[in-house]
């Protein structure tokens, strides 16, 4: 181990734990900004393996949002986004499309 690294380890050991935690969070914030800057696909690739769908929907305040799940022209189910997310997890199908009720955009394919 280099002497510079040992010096910084001693500094971090002597610092207040709350400040060390804040430092780590600020460094993670920079990483988060870089991920967000790469677009939604990058955010999904980072977040989905690290979060359970119900927790993710609740954090985004979208768990109770009304939605419709489609397969082609067939309406598979209609309800809260959380219910639909559970259905998609239990019955994966690459042909699903999700329509958020009240949204101006057309139904989007559900990535699985």
- Domain identity same for 56 and 45: no
- Domain identity same for 99 and 63: yes
- Domain identity same for 73 and 38: no
56-111 pLDDT, tens digit per residue, is: 889 889 999 999 999 999 999 999 999 999 999 899 999 999 999 975 455 556 65
Query: What pLDDT does 109 receive?
Result: 60
11-54 pLDDT, tens digit per residue, is: 778 888 898 889 888 888 889 999 999 999 999 888 888 888 88
- pTM tops 0.85, yes or no: no
- Domain identity same for 56 and 39: no
- Domain identity same for 44 and 67: no
Residue range of the domain that includes 56: 52-109
- Measured between alpha carbons, how far is 72 from 19 in angstroms, rounded to an integer? 53
Identify whether the C-beta of residue 28 lies closer than 8 Å to the C-beta of residue 60: no
Identify whether the C-beta of residue 98 lies closer than 8 Å to the C-beta of residue 83: no
Query: What pLDDT does 102 receive?
Result: 78
Identify whether the C-beta of residue 81 lies closer than 8 Å to the C-beta of residue 67: yes
Query: What pLDDT does 54 receive?
Result: 85
């Amino acid at each position: 181990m280099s002497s510079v690294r040992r010096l910084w380890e001693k500094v971090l050991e002597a610092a207040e734990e709350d400040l060390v935690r804040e430092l780590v969070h600020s460094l993670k914030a920079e990483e988060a900004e870089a991920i967000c800057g790469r677009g939604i696909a990058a955010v999904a690739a980072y977040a989905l393996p690290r979060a359970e769908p119900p927790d993710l929907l609740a954090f985004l305040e979208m768990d109770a949002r009304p939605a419709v799940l489609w397969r082609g022209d067939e309406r598979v189910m209609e309800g809260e986004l959380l219910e639909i997310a559970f259905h998609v997890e239990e019955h994966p199908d690459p042909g699903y499309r999700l329509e958020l009720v009240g949204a101006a955009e057309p139904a989007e394919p559900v990535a699985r």
